[in-house]
Amino acid sequence: MRVWRGMLLSHCAVLLTLAGCSKTPEPVAPPAPTADTDTSSFPSEASATSEPPAESGLAIKRGIVTLSAERASFRPCGEQSDLLLVDQTDGVLKREFAGEKDADGADQVPKLYIEAYGERSIDQPAPAGFAGGFTLEEVLYATPDQTRSCDSPPQDYIVAARGNEPFWSAEVTEAALVWRQAEEPKEISIAAPQTQDAEGAVSYAAANNDHKIELLIEAQACRDDMSGEYFAYAAKALLNGKQYTGCARVGSRTF
């Protein structure tokens, strides 16, 4: 899986272990070292640059996928024309969402809002009715609920996780780790979360005088059993020693 983009660019050194970048990412500004941080592996300031442009294969793309038996299409957010979808994944969208029936028992043609890695084809002619092609390389998030679509602005968190029964959610930003739940305290915000990497996972931890939160994000497909949303990452959390499980979604500030 590729490096998480957007806010995650500043965590690229950690997330390469989890994401397994298949393309060489553009240099990014290193995170500011702390007093207990080994700075020997940070790149020099001369290599720092901005995040990749939206058309880059390293940028998260947002749009609507229409799945059909003949051809699938992708319409990028903010555009009015469809692109022919060339699926280079293991067929995750058809596996997870195709085959659903309508009220009359007929096959539905799923329309999905997705966030994914991929690239627009610029050197191959497209069939009639398509403005071009789009090569889908990795699905990060998908939902059949069109209310969660291009109308919603890109999120500026690094990663967000949530689970059901009991409901909980956690968001990691550059500034804080924020925990939300149905019971009191309904929101806990702890500044300066610490990040660690392990094989196939990234963990975040934050603590104050009253609470300790640990969040583990694993490169493992996850499906919300209530909403039907698909996530490329699974989550495990500890709040003051109590365990929670759920799914995770990375921030998407581009395209």
Complete edge-to-edge strand list for the sheet that includes strand 194-198:
187-191, 176-181, 168-172, 159-163, 242-250, 233-239, 212-218, 201-207, 194-198
Q: Which of 6 and 117 is assigned the larger pLDDT?
A: 117
Q: Kindly state the tokens that stand for 14.
A: 């950690």
- Under the banding of pLDDT at 50, 70 and 90, the label for residue 37 is very low
Cα–Cα distance between 125 and 253 in angstroms, integer? 30
Cα–Cα distance between 86 and 93 in angstroms, integer? 12
CB atoms within 10 A of CB 147: 8
Question: How confident is the model at residue 101, as a pLDDT?
Answer: 62
In the chain, where the domains are located: 6-47, 61-143, 159-250
Residues above pLDDT 70, as percent of the chain: 73
- Under the banding of pLDDT at 50, 70 and 90, the label for residue 99 is confident
Per residue in 122-147, pLDDT (tens digit) is 777 888 889 999 999 999 999 988 77
Q: Best-predicted range by mean pLDDT among 2-11, 51-60, 106-115, 174-183?
A: 174-183
Q: Kindly state the tokens that stand for 144.
A: 């059949």
* CB 228, CB 144: distance < 8 Å: yes
Per residue in 204-244, pLDDT (tens digit) is 999 999 999 999 999 999 999 899 999 999 999 999 999 99
Closest alpha carbon to 237 in 167, 137, 151: 167
- Under the banding of pLDDT at 50, 70 and 90, the label for residue 151 is confident
Q: What is the pTM of this model?
A: 0.77
Which run of H or E residues covers position 189?
strand 187-191
Contacts of 20 (CB under 8 A, 6+ apart): 1, 2
Cα–Cα distance between 142 and 185 in angstroms, integer? 31
Q: Kindly state the tokens that stand for 183.
A: 């019971």
Question: How confident is the model at residue 13, as a pLDDT?
Answer: 40
**Answer CATH for 61-143 from 1.10.8, 2.40.50, 3.30.70, 2.60.40:** 2.40.50
SS3 of 202-213: the string is EEEEEECCCCEE
- Under the banding of pLDDT at 50, 70 and 90, the label for residue 156 is confident
